[in-house]
Structures are given as structure tokens and as C-alpha cells.
Amino acid sequence: MADLQDEPHSVGIGAEDLPAPAVAVAAGALDRAVALLAVHPVADGCNTLVWTLHQRPYHDIETSDTGVDTDIPRLRTGGVGAQFWSLLVPSARAHENAAGEQVLSDTLDQIDTALTLMRRYPDSLCLALSADDMADARNRGRIASFLGPVPGRTLTDSLGALRAFHALGVRVLAPAGAPWAQEELTAFGHEVVREANRLAILLDLMDCPPAVACRIAGASKAPVIISNTAAASLNPHPGNVTDEVLAALREANGLAMVTFDTARTGDSLHAVADHLDHVRAIAGPHGVGLGASFGTGPGHPRPTGLTDPSGYPRLIAELLERGWPESEVALLTWGNALRVVRDAEFTARAAGHRR
């Protein structure tokens, strides 16, 4: 078991290794950002690369390719130390194949793709099942890789699928779109929440209606997350989170992870920083994280300066220039994600003792 105070492995990335700046950042702040990320790397809550690779199975992520915005060199340059790999089916595909069996099949295929990815790049990616795995991977210079979320709609009238997902390594479930979490949280939905708590599976409230999100946050004994979102108060995009939900997350010790999507945040690094400022103000320093939603091909609009994971140090430099204490930046990048994973495990152990 890794001691969280162990000196983490450094990959030797310095400010001079970053690509040419797309936005103006003070050199001193950038150096501080790189130094901070060497100790407190980014735990990114959302990357859709698995679906992209499911369509392009022969793509090599050890080399940079303009056809995909995520690869191992750019993850390392950006200081990413943990990654949650989304296993959600794109909405267009889900609507084309409305049958739950097809969504389940697509999800299982993505799990297989993700596990194959870990086996193919063992020196860079490490399957993570726990907070200790997350710390161990960081200390060994690998990127801790969590599987999830998976779609909640794959669960119908039985919790067996949830237990099977857990056995395959999945640690996050997204209730949005499930019949048990639409207008309200049904009786079966409460069972799902309890079982997720027992298994230490995080509940990801992305795209849940505000009333349902608040209900799940209140029903869960473990912290809940929103793996990729932005502040609806700054941009009323339907995928962005309201202040009401951010307040509920704060009450539940949850975590809202801000995305890098032009439609939801605006078209610049500074706009993303504005959303981080707002989420931090409402959810608190312990309730804000990063969930960029990288992992796509060309054509997906990204804020200037944040077109791929290598831009993370510039964002951190911007926050430091805005006066964020380094202790709170460390929570943003690493500490808050580690906490919710560890708290979910604590809740699961407590549930086991009660049983």
C-alpha cells in the first residue's frame, strides 16, 4: 500500500517542454504550475477516448496523432496522473439503438477495449480499483485508470448487472437516462444507490435533472460526482449544473468536475477558469475538480489554450495568477478526486459491517 506522503515519481516535464503558448501566461506562474503538478497531478474525471478507440482499434496512443486529442505523451506533458475513462455510449448511438440490450453490448465492448488498453501500455496506464491504487500508480509514474461511468440504463429490474460491472473493474455509474432516475428516484433507484454505496461505485450525476440530482445526492451515503459540467449561472447550457445542485454537492461532500467544451464554458482558457471560480465559490474548495472530456477527434470545439491534455499547466498557472492558494489548487487537481474515491470505500466498508 502506498503512503500518500511518499515522494511521487517525476516524469521530468518542465515548462520548457510545453507546446508553444496559445494564451499569455506569466513564466513564473507556469513554472509554479509545473512544479505543483509534479506532486499533485491532474485526476481528470472524463475522457471519451475508449469510445473513439472502439471505432479505431489499431490506433497507437504512444505517439501523438492529430486525429485524436488524447495520447500518452500529451497526458504526461499535461501532468495527468489519474484518468476516469468514460464508458458511456454517445447519445446519437444510444438513440439509434434504443434497446437496452444494445446499450449493454456497447458498454461491455468498451470495457473490453479499455482493459486491452491497460494491457497494451502497462508502463504508462494502470487499472485502478481503489484510492490506494490511485496513489500507487502516481508514485510509480503511471496514470491510474478508472473505468466509468457506465450507463445507468443498463440496469433494469435487477442489480446483477451492477455487481457484474463491479467485478469487471467499473467504479462509476451514471444514472442519467435510466427509467429509475428520470422524473424522480424510484424505489428501484433507491436500491441502486444503496448497492452502489455497498460496492464503492461512485454515482455520476452528469445530465441528471436538477431535482433528481439533488435527490440522489441526498440519498447516497457516499459522495457523488458530476464528471464533466460547468456553471449554469455563467452559461445556461442544458448540460451545465445549477447553483442548487452545486449547493447539494457541497452538503453531500460531492465533487463537480469542470469540462473543457466551448459550448458549455466559452471559447478560452480564461472562460474555463471563470467556471472553476464559480464552482469553487458555490461547492467550496473541496467540491471542485477537472473533467475535461477529451478523447475526441478533430472538429470538437475546444477553448483556446485547452485543445488537448497538454494545456493543463497553463490552466493551473492562470488559477495561481488569480490568487488560488496552492493548497486549493492541489485539491482541485488531485486531492478532491482522491477523497471521493476513498470516502466511497469507507462507506462501503461501513455498509459491510452493518450487514
Residue-level pLDDT, tens digit, the chain, 355 residues: 344 434 444 444 555 555 555 555 677 999 999 999 999 999 999 999 999 988 876 778 998 877 899 999 999 999 999 999 999 988 655 555 555 678 999 999 999 999 999 999 999 999 999 999 999 999 999 999 999 999 999 998 889 999 999 999 999 999 999 999 998 999 999 999 999 999 999 999 999 999 999 999 999 999 999 999 999 999 999 999 999 999 999 999 999 999 999 999 999 999 999 999 999 999 999 999 999 999 998 888 999 999 999 999 999 999 999 999 999 999 999 999 999 999 999 999 998 766 5
Is it true that the peptide bond before 149 is cis, omega within 30 degrees of 0? Answer: yes
Q: At what angle do helices 160-168 and 100-120 cross, to 10 degrees?
A: 10
Contact status, residue 184 vs residue 338, Cβ threshold 8 Å: no
* 302, three cell numbers: 475546444
- CA dist., res. 222 & res. 163, Å (int): 17
Residue 101's alpha-carbon distances to 74, 87, 154, 163, 165, in angstroms, are: 36, 15, 8, 17, 15
- Which residues 6+ apart lie within 8 Å of 165 measured at CB? 111, 150, 154, 173, 201
| Predicted pLDDT of residue 107 | 95
DSSP string over 101-126: HHHHHHHHHHHHHHHHHHHH-TTTEE
Judged by DSSP in three states, 275 sits in helix
CA distance 90 to 303: 21
CA distance 38 to 80: 9
